[in-house]
Structure 1
């Protein structure tokens, strides 16, 4: 490999990137769009739970339960019904997510611990229904505990103390922001290099390069090095946005993040070049890359926890490189994990990088 030739080719690639009407915009705008808006949109936090209430007791305690529930942060008493059928109509029409039924003589029976409320949730949205029912249950328990204490009664048994480690506020954005950087690297270091190579193949410049003394390694490196550098810059921008906008900073060493970024950039570059080598047109490469991007996003644990997938799907995720990058990013950001502690994930990413780069090298044919 001739360093002078590589330098000249890199200068040519940078010039072409600057003149390209699309790539600079993608590089500048996409990191900001992804890191600013996706954490706000792709949010699994359950808020604004609407509750339908059937108050059969009509006592001071039942009115207090309703008032306390309506004052809770995530709960809104949307409608107070006179019958179960009326409440179910509210749920079926989308006006309520949870149904709270306060039984007859509830306040009298709770001179001790002898009566409980009935809580029904809308299971169409299972997450919102489950968590909404829990919110309502906790609100009722807290109100009942205060009421019994104020009236000199034996309070109901207290719930165990819960401490949330690594993400004390249970803010879903803290879970999403580190992992979203995988989307940036997939596009920057995988998708764009593939399109770049195929576009030169369509324009005929790749055939012209094939008849020159430039080696395969020098040519491929000239295509990939700019995107590797851009990938590091994009991750840096993502970390800055996470810090300045959301106040999230890595608990661990930033060097561990950059090491994972370098390895994953090599993985995606190898995949992108391999796809470009087998694609005759840009449209073919777009379809193939899009299929990989969908699989990576759905099965890497980005949005859906891997532990919630069926066993056969969990087994497949071991062959998904973004899984290991996401595990590293979340562990470094939230737990402060070190490179040594995450050694298995780093080694697997390195193995993926070597395999895919070898495939890319073997499938690139220099015709002379």
Structure 2
């Protein structure tokens, strides 16, 4: 019996000429465009430099900042007030003011002060921009200390601690390596969550669900037949994503593909089961679509996909523990970046298994079969 129900679901899926195209085109578009757009690196920061010294040292500092890919020197105004007007009209993000006698103070062994004024309307851009600029200035100061004559260096404070930075797991700081695995999770959630959410309620509106209700098909068999096609669609989407990540960006997991597919078996049951629960409780397609979208926004924003969960307030971190996407995102990033295996990810596997059991039992229980 279940064989014919599954066959019906596949025929119903492919009878719609748009859905098979969506299943293929949507992952391709997201994997091509989103890794470039969903990037939290801050670049092309508009910088105004007020150079009141006009010395060789100040000129070198301006050139060093201009050589950075993070800043774009839009103007060199004569006064600080002119630079502030540029921030007010939005043509500048940061002001660097070099004081008079900057070179003279340095050569005398004093510590000259530089002013960095940041437009903090966008807190992330302002904070990171000022940090980038401070790092460039500190690096320039070290260069000047090394170039200074020995007698002059003797009277200048030298750092006592040398910090050596080693970037583990992602030594090139490639942000795509962090973002692409999470985008795969987002795609699986949207496709394998929305399609089941619209399935049962679509049959309710079309009236075909009544033909199933008068058959001896059990509720469990009916739900399993609904799950399996979207479970297979999820594997197709995941394979497309893994292939595009390798072909377009040269990104391959440090771990094994078996771990990814093994977790996908459980995760696809989670999101498909959630979609069927929403579909069972919805009366119209519009209701199912809006309810699913409501949950999608919360699940994705609270999953650590774009922002770290540890940066959230304590109460938000507790809520995130009830989010199945959190555990699958952790798995994908662990396998891709650190080469984790099943033994390293048993807590995530246990959480996803619990979610899959709850949602699918709920889907079976909430399906109202009447004869």
TM range (shorter): over 0.9
Q: Deviations over 1:296-339 (max 9, x none)?
A: 11111111221222221111111111111111111111111111
Give the aligned partner of residue 265 of structure 1.
268
Separation in 2 of the partners of 1:69 and 1:128? 17
Separation in 2 of the partners of 1:126 and 1:161? 28
- Equivalent residue for 1:286, pick from 285, 289, 310: 289
- Equivalent residue for 1:178, pick from 177, 181, 188: 181
Structure 1 contact 242–248 (Cα < 8 Å) conserved: yes
Q: 1:24: how far off?
A: 0.8
Separation in 1 of the partners of 2:12 and 2:40? 41
- Equivalent residue for 1:45, pick from 36, 41, 48: 41
Separation in 2 of the partners of 1:210 and 1:131? 59
Written as runs of structure 1 = structure 2, the 5 A alignment for 1:84-123 is 84-111=80-107, 112-123=109-120
Give the aligned partner of residue 256 of structure 1.
259
Give the aligned partner of residue 66 of structure 1.
62
Range moving further from structure 2, 10-19 or 173-182: 10-19
Give the aligned partner of residue 244 of structure 1.
247
Structure 2 contact 227–273 (Cα < 8 Å) conserved: no
Q: 1:238: how far off?
A: 0.6
Q: 1:200: how far off?
A: 0.8
| Counterpart secondary structure, 2:87 | helix
Structure 2 contact 223–363 (Cα < 8 Å) conserved: no
Separation in 2 of the partners of 1:62 and 1:93? 27
Structure 1 contact 121–133 (Cα < 8 Å) conserved: yes
Q: 1:159: how far off?
A: 5.6
RMSD: 1.6
Separation in 2 of the partners of 1:169 and 1:201? 52
Give the aligned partner of residue 135 of structure 1.
132
Separation in 2 of the partners of 1:25 and 1:13? 17
Structure 1 contact 53–101 (Cα < 8 Å) conserved: yes
Q: Deviations over 1:139-188 (max 9, x none)?
A: 22233332343342428537622222122222222111101112222222
Q: 1:265: how far off?
A: 0.7
Structure 1 contact 35–238 (Cα < 8 Å) conserved: yes
* TM-score of the pair, normalised by structure 1: 0.95
Written as runs of structure 1 = structure 2, the 5 A alignment for 1:144-155 is 144-152=141-149, 153-154=152-153
Give the aligned partner of residue 369 of structure 2.
366
Written as runs of structure 1 = structure 2, the 5 A alignment for 1:205-220 is 205-220=208-223
Structure 2 contact 266–356 (Cα < 8 Å) conserved: yes
Unaligned runs of 5+ in 2: none
Range moving further from structure 2, 116-125 or 329-338: 116-125
Separation in 2 of the partners of 1:54 and 1:102? 6
Pairing 1:25–2:21 present:
yes
Separation in 2 of the partners of 1:162 and 1:80? 34
Separation in 2 of the partners of 1:290 and 1:254? 30
> Number of paired residues?
364
Q: 1:27: how far off?
A: 0.6
Structure 2 contact 197–276 (Cα < 8 Å) conserved: yes
Pairing 1:304–2:307 present:
yes
Separation in 1 of the partners of 2:122 and 2:347? 37
Structure 2 contact 53–102 (Cα < 8 Å) conserved: yes
Give the aligned partner of residue 161 of structure 1.
164
Separation in 2 of the partners of 1:59 and 1:312? 53
Give the aligned partner of residue 76 of structure 2.
80
* TM-score of the pair, normalised by structure 2: 0.94
Range moving further from structure 2, 321-330 or 48-57: 48-57
Q: 1:113: how far off?
A: 5.0
